[in-house]
Chains A and B, each alone.
Chain A
Amino acid sequence: MSSVLYDAPGPRARRRNVILSVVFVALLALLLWWIWSTMNDKGQLKWALWQPFTTSAAWTTYLLPGLGNTLKAAALAMVIALPLGAFFGIARMSDHRWVRVPAGVVVEFFRAIPVLLLMLFANEFYVRSTGIASDVRPLYAVVTGLVLYNASVLAEVVRAGILALPKGQTEAAYAIGLRKGQTMSGILLPQAVTVMLPAIVSQLVVIVKDTALGGAMLAFPELLGSRSTLAANYANVIASFIVVAVIFILLNFALTSFASWLERRLRRSKRSTGVVLAADEEEVNPAQTGGTYGTGAGGSI
């Protein structure tokens, strides 16, 4: 096999690779041993700290409700943000200046602001101006923050999805006499949704990760928030962090894998136009996407 950087190894290169591997393994083993012994010294490996996770009580009382809240907030945010994002994305491409410019300002503004700021603000706003009960307020605040931010990110995804379609689609639609709105709703949007699906799924990863902000700052009992109640109960801070991190990794890894599977499948399918918005930003050829950067706040990680 040959990559950009190295050829198929010859005898000398193979020997060098073996030596490098041995050194690397030694370093890695040293690191792991250090972590292990530090944990041992601090008594973090005692079975009593890990045993709770083998009982159903820890899961049914803390972790699963926490995970449920995480998923609930993420799902709500996604369901509300998608139509809103589609609306702003289309509005940004309007022929009318008075529609295009305000939509652009709104999208750029909410993309430039940290989600945490939006959540804190929404929380305080609900305290002062609405009668939302205090036990559901954190959920409302978290979802509001997530919706405002992700709707503007999705608006850009929608716009990119529509712009990625071949121009002939619009021309053909006009040629058979469809009006602008009909072209958008009947021809462009359905195809754009297919094109965007991988990007939308991977946006879910960002949303799932951002719900943790609610647990840390707003007392929203999602996975990270329920971790602290669990650790307060069983006194197993490190163990609880590791278990919660593993749950997050598995959940998000599943979503990422699903997104890239979807992308490959869409690329293969005969009926599509062949354009797919990559699920992962890093798979996009940076040279091609150069034009979309520099609008201020890109990236949603």
Chain B
Amino acid sequence: MNFDFSDDQKQLRDQARKFLAEKCSPKAVRVVLDGKAPYDKELWKGLAEMGFLGVAIPEEFGGAGAGHLELCVIAEEMGRANAPVPFSSTVYLAGEALLIAGSDAQKKKWLPAIASGEAIGTLALFEGKGNPSPKNIKLTAANGVLNGVKKPVADGAIADFAVVAARTGSSGRDSDIALFLVDLKAAGVEVKSLTNLDPTRGQAEISFKDCKAEPLGAAGEGWSTLSQMLDRAAVLCAFEQVGGSDRALEMGRDYALDRIAFGRQIGSFQAVKHMLADMYVSATLARSNSYYGAWALSTNAAELPEAAAAARISATQAFQHCAKNNIQVHGGMGFTWEFDCHMYYRRANAMALGLGSLTYWEDQLIDRMRKKNAA
């Protein structure tokens, strides 16, 4: 047993951290935050050059062929830097969908484009209120033609292609759901940007009107592929959330050492110390749960569904907890646009919803634990 990343993986993490510290300063993040660009194109290009976009993509499809543990350590750094790029949509969702269910031709077409940074991908799943569920998918697919509206779609306005979840039948079974690959420049696609909690990662509404689409994976397996995708993305997002939690904690700690009130560093007041200690506790629990998720993801273990749900819940809570208390530690300064605290607060709360809310994952976790105990 060895419950830690290898030295090589840690080295990769250091490399990613250094790269992002240089190319993704808070100032660079703000260009996107302030609406001056939809995402950081330079950074995106740089990430491709570093090989980070294709780290878990096999070499035959243009990737580095490393693996998912390597992707986890990079994800942590993306979260720490609050990177304003469509990394999660493209790599964790679209990329993983292709790896799980793509035909050889589909993989050949899209995976190298992902790895090289030429194509941005996303998942079009949600249709308004509600959590992932077959019954919430109303968009129809008939004869290879899609009709319906998806909203919100993360990074939808900048994506080149989307994996779209559609309904092909009305039996009420999971097999009614199928996945499709859609080139978003195709006829019948209309995209509208939506303002959202975290402008550093855009959201869009996408309408499909008699839009041609090619199936991704077997017809009746859309929902099972989707659940696998969500589990895998849950682990990877958890690492981003862990990175974000750590950064928020660090910012809070640094400010507590810096700021003087009543003639003392505010970090010498026990209420502040204990708030920071609790942030450390939640970040640590999240990190440990995420490591277990990483192990399950990288070995495709039977434990993955349960491990993914636990990582998801724990990391979501930790990031929200650390981001909100980081603002509290900063006092009035923390509530200014000028300070960076709100960027993490926005990201934490947006990420808490992206793959389905906590309620959804709590349900998933308990179902999976029950199944395990029954077995």
Q: Do A and B bind each other?
A: no
